[in-house]
Structure 1
Amino acid sequence: MYKNVVIKAFEKGKNEIPGNSSKTNISNHISDVLLNDYKYPLSARSLRNLFDASKTCDEATDINISSDHTKILCQYLGYKSYSDFLIENPDKIKSEKNKGAGGFLKKNKLTILISVITIIVIYFITSINKQRWMIWQEDHYVEVSFDAEKYSMSQMKLYNKDRINDFRKIRVNCETEFFNSTGEVKIWYGKNSNGELEYFTAFGLHPETGKTLKEITTYMIKTHICGSY
């Protein structure tokens, strides 16, 4: 089940950070690793939500998670794909059903491995033919057809539904809602290539510079946006 991937990822994250291993610290650590090592933006808040869902759903149900999120968390755990993860971490429910199979997985490991590799190769070839792309356009990402010239200039990025729907550059002022009712950040900031501060509606990399955006703080708001905040 997908929830096992999330739970395993948090177990690994807990072992990688010293001191206070709270859920918030673990999710922040995993988010930083995914962004810095895999160039994949997945916010700490989203990770916490996935973890909470994984811990609260019963054994017979699973969480709702995108295939891209699952794939990158499997890579963080050291697996090439979710299929590889399942081979080493079979579902508990499925394992119980297969106890009387006389070690079927162990006896047929080579056959299963070949089958998985075949599936991955077919999936990879199909994905190349169906790959979707996006490009930054003024203040948001838009889906576009592949353009070799723009790709060579590092302007094109792999399509990401969350980036398309939720990532925007906005103008901020004293009326902007910087935090939600529980105090969680709603605005991130970073400098463009000219050294000017710009503000965005989601965590990620600055579309121009590729640098990691930072969470807005009360100090930043008072200093650069609204002195009376």
Structure 2
Amino acid sequence: MNSSTYENYTEAIKAQYDEVKEGMYASFLLQPTPAQLRNLCVMLLDHGLSKADEGIFTLFFQVKEGENLRRSIENFDVEKFKAVKNFLTGKNTKTNPNSLNLIAVLVNFNSRPFSKFIQQGATVVKKTAMEVSIQEEESREIIKQEYFQENVILHQKKPKARSIAIGVGVIGLIVGSFGIKKEYFPDKECVQWNKDHYEEVVCEGSKIGFADVNPIIEGQESLLDFKKIEVSDTTTFFKNKQPVIWYCKQDGKCEYFNAPGLHPESGKTLKPISKYIIKKYVLQENKK
């Protein structure tokens, strides 16, 4: 059987995601939201795409001839990223070819797009990924069997009217409590930039976007770890030869952050620190 199938392509990309989700782009991939996935697309575009990847972006974002790709991404309906998010988080095990090719770019899966995967006769679906898939399927089957057995036992017993009334009362109390909580203690599902870090805020009734200063945006836990930091000649800028500090020039000065992403106020893509920037800006600032 030829392993260059769409199912193998799907499994290989999922295995690649599992490898890289805690890497350089962890703030986008570890706990992805539709907004963060769109931001990652903008950042990858700014860093430079191959012709093949530009083609993948053009198809996914439905860019018409003569339209600017970056503007098309920024104006793209963020809700359409839910399919991408659901695939990455395991909520859905399949997605359409255009979304899957885009995910291949986001996780830097080399054998992309699908046509290239077929041409290479890829046989790189990892054993570990297959074992996990088998174990998950077995777990689901066990859960279904246990659920069926429990329901058979419950239906064999004739519950007394008093027990039913108590059950209905408990359910009503839970639902009522949930409504009160949502009304008076709404969940803080969004974040807003405050000087040098993100803080949780309530989404409802707030404008979400990048147009305003310190806008309220869809949040995720990893954003709460994203911070603007001060650096000096004693700061650790690299680990295993990879940058761990990112920067952005604002009004002729560099601002530094502890993770990749977009500048929370200007929307500019943060760049990885380099020895040149350290020498020109960090060391020069320390001399003053």
TM-score, normalization: structure 2? 0.40
Rg: which structure is higher? 2
Q: Which has the higher contact order (CA 8 A, sep 6+)?
A: 2
Q: TM-score, normalised by structure 1?
A: 0.48
